C-alpha cells in the first residue's frame, strides 16, 4: 500500500529537525507550508494524496496550487518561499522514498515585487549635503563629505559612480560644465551639475591632498580612494543625529533626485537618461512612488478621506 503523503511529511519534518538540525522556527514554517500544500491537493485531486499521487502531479496541478495561494492573498514573495519548502520536501522524497517528480524542480517561482524606491523629503535631502560635514571636526573631511553628498543628490549618482570619479572629472566652479559619469556596464552618461554642487566640489578641491588629474576625487584619510563603507557610516551617524528615517542612505539620495524631479514636472525619458537606466520600466517605478505620495496626501487632506 503506497505511503500517505502526510506520513511522508512527518518523516521529512523529523529528518529536518534531527539530521539537518534546522531551527525550530524553520521546522514550524515547513510543517505549515507543506500541510497547506497537501490540503490543497486533497481537494484538487478529490482525495488524500499518497506518494504515487505526488510523483504523478502535473505542471498544471502545481500551477493550480500557486494560483490558489494567490487567491488566498499570498504575495509573490510568500508563494516563492512556499515553493522552496515544497521543493525541499520533494528532494527528501526522491532520496528517501525514490519518488521523483521533475516538474516540481522546473516550476518557475513567482517573482517577488521590487519594493518602491524610498526617497527623502526635499528638506532632508538638502540638509544632508549642507550639514553632513558636522559629523567631523576635520575641515578637509567636512568639505569632502559635503561635496560627495551634494553630488549624490544633485546629480543622482550611485555611490560607486561618485567614488570612481577622478580629479580631472570634477566640474569647474562658475561654469555650466557637465559631469561625465561611468555607470553600470561601463556605460557613460552626461549630467548637469547645479551651481551649489560645483561650489561644494570646488571647496573640497582646494583642500584635496593630491590635485593631480589622475588622483581619485574623493579620498580617505590615508590618501586612497574613499571606501563606500566610510560614506555609509557617515550617513548612518548623520541620520541618527538629525532624526532621519532608517532608509536615509547614500542610495536614497539617488532615489530622492529622481522622485523630486518627477514631482517637479520632469518627464520620464529625461530622468531615465540622467539616472543611466537602460530600461524605461526601471525609471517608471518612480511614478508609483509619486502616485503613492499623492494618495497619502489625498487621505490626509480630503474631508471624506
pLDDT digits (tens, 9 = 90+) for 68-84: 999 998 888 899 999 99
Long-range contacts (CB closer than 8 Å, 24 or more residues apart) made by 16-20:
none
Q: Of residues 9, 208, 255, 277, which has the active-site annotation?
A: 277
Report the alpha-carbon distance of residue 172 to residue 177 in Å, rounded: 6
Q: Of residues 144, 254, 255, 260, which has the active-site annotation?
A: 254
The three three-digit cell numbers of residue 86, written as one number: 515544497
Q: Which domain holds residue 161?
A: 122-301
Do residues 179 and 92 both lie within one domain? no
The string over 166-185, giving b where at least 16 C-beta atoms fall within 10 Å of a residue's C-beta and e elsewhere, is ebebbbeeeeeeebebebee
Last residue of a domain, one of 106, 138, 156: 106
Do residues 162 and 284 both lie within one domain? yes
Query: Half-sphere exposure (CA, 13 Å, Cβ side) for 190?
Result: 4
What does the pLDDT read at residue 36? 96
Contact criterion met (CB below 8 Å) for 249 and 256: no
Do residues 141 and 265 both lie within one domain? yes
- 241 classed as catalytic: no
- 277 classed as catalytic: yes
pLDDT, tens digit, for every residue of 34-52?
A: 999 999 999 999 999 999 9
pLDDT, tens digit, for every residue of 197-244?
A: 999 999 999 999 998 999 999 999 888 999 999 999 999 999 999 999
Do residues 297 and 265 both lie within one domain? yes
Do residues 223 and 275 both lie within one domain? yes
Report the alpha-carbon distance of residue 176 to residue 12 in Å, rounded: 67
Which CATH number belongs to the domain containing residue 43 in this structure? 1.10.150
Q: Of residues 81, 189, 251, 285, which has the active-site annotation?
A: 251
What does the pLDDT read at residue 279? 87
Last residue of a domain, one of 56, 72, 106: 106
Do residues 160 and 241 both lie within one domain? yes
Report the alpha-carbon distance of residue 183 to residue 109 in Å, rounded: 30
Percent of the chain topping pLDDT 70: 92
Contact criterion met (CB below 8 Å) for 145 and 153: no
Is residue 115 in some structural domain? no
- 105 classed as catalytic: no
Split at pLDDT 50, 70, 90, the class of 172 is confident
pLDDT at 298 over 60: no
- 233 classed as catalytic: no
Do residues 244 and 201 both lie within one domain? yes
pLDDT at 297 over 90: no
Residues near 198 by Cβ (< 8 Å), separated by ≥ 6? 171, 172, 173, 174, 175, 177
How far is Cα of residue 62 from the mean position of the Cα atoms in its chain? 29
Q: Of residues 9, 79, 158, 260, which has the active-site annotation?
A: 158
What does the pLDDT read at residue 300? 65
Cα of first residue to Cα of last residue in the chain, in angstroms, is: 62
pLDDT, tens digit, for every residue of 103-140?
A: 998 888 777 666 778 899 999 999 999 999 998 999 99
Do residues 146 and 273 both lie within one domain? yes
Last residue of a domain, one of 75, 106, 137: 106
Do residues 291 and 151 both lie within one domain? yes
Cα–Cα distances (Å) from 167 to 109, 143, 153, 176, 247, in that order, read 46, 15, 19, 17, 30
Do residues 169 and 272 both lie within one domain? yes
Split into its structural domains, the chain has a count of: 2
Residues near 10 by Cβ (< 8 Å), separated by ≥ 6? none
Is residue 128 in some structural domain? yes
Q: Of residues 96, 184, 211, 233, which has the active-site annotation?
A: 184
Classified as helix, coil or strand, 30 is: helix
Among 283, 226, 215, 274, which residue's Cα sits nearest to residue 250?
A: 226
Classified as helix, coil or strand, 119 is: coil
Report the alpha-carbon distance of residue 257 to residue 119 in Å, rounded: 8
Rama region for 243: left / alpha / beta (φ>0; ψ in -120 to 50; rest): left
The 3 state secondary structure assigned to 51-66 is: HHHHHCCCHHHHHHHH
Residue-averaged pLDDT of the chain: 90
Contact criterion met (CB below 8 Å) for 223 and 210: yes
Do residues 100 and 134 both lie within one domain? no
Do residues 139 and 283 both lie within one domain? yes
Least confident of 10-24, 112-126, 148-162, 193-207: 112-126
pLDDT at 299 over 80: no
Q: What DSSP character marks residue 20?
A: S
Amino acid at each position: 500500500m503506497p505511503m500517505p503523503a502526510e506520513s511522508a511529511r512527518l518523516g521529512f519534518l523529523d529528518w529536518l529537525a534531527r539530521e539537518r538540525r534546522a531551527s525550530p522556527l524553520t521546522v514550524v514554517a515547513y510543517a505549515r507550508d507543506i500541510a497547506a500544500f497537501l490540503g490543497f491537493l486533497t481537494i484538487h485531486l478529490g482525495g488524500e494524496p499518497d506518494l504515487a499521487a505526488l510523483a504523478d502531479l502535473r505542471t498544471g496541478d502545481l500551477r493550480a496550487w500557486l494560483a490558489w495561494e494567490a487567491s488566498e492573498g499570498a504575495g509573490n514573495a510568500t508563494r516563492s518561499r512556499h515553493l522552496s519548502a515544497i521543493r525541499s520536501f520533494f528532494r527528501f522524497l526522491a532520496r528517501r522514498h525514490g519518488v521523483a517528480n521533475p516538474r516540481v524542480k522546473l516550476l518557475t517561482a513567482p517573482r517577488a515585487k521590487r519594493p518602491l524606491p524610498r526617497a527623502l523629503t526635499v528638506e532632508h535631502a538638502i540638509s544632508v549635503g549642507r550639514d553632513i560635514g558636522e559629523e567631523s571636526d576635520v575641515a578637509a573631511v567636512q568639505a569632502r563629505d559635503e561635496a560627495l553628498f551634494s553630488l549624490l543628490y544633485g546629480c543622482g549618482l550611485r555611490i560607486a559612480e561618485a567614488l570612481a570619479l577622478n580629479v580631472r572629472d570634477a566640474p569647474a566652479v562658475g561654469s555650466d560644465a557637465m559631469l561625465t559619469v561611468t555607470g553600470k556596464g561601463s556605460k557613460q552618461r552626461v549630467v548637469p551639475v547645479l551651481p551649489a554642487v560645483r561650489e561644494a566640489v570646488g571647496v573640497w578641491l582646494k583642500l584635496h591632498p593630491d590635485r593631480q588629474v589622475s588622483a581619485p576625487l574623493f579620498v580617505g584619510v590615508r590618501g586612497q580612494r574613499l571606501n563606500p563603507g566610510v560614506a555609509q557610516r557617515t550617513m548612518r551617524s548623520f541620520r541618527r543625529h538629525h532624526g532621519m528615517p532608517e532608509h536615509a542612505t547614500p542610495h536614497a539620495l539617488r532615489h530622492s533626485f529622481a522622485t523630486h524631479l518627477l514631482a517637479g514636472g520632469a518627464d520620464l525619458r529625461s530622468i531615465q537618461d540622467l539616472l543611466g537606466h537602460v530600461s524605461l520600466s526601471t525609471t517608471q517605478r518612480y511614478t508609483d512612488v509619486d502616485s503613492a505620495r499623492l494618495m497619502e496626501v489625498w487621505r490626509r487632506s480630503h474631508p471624506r478621506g
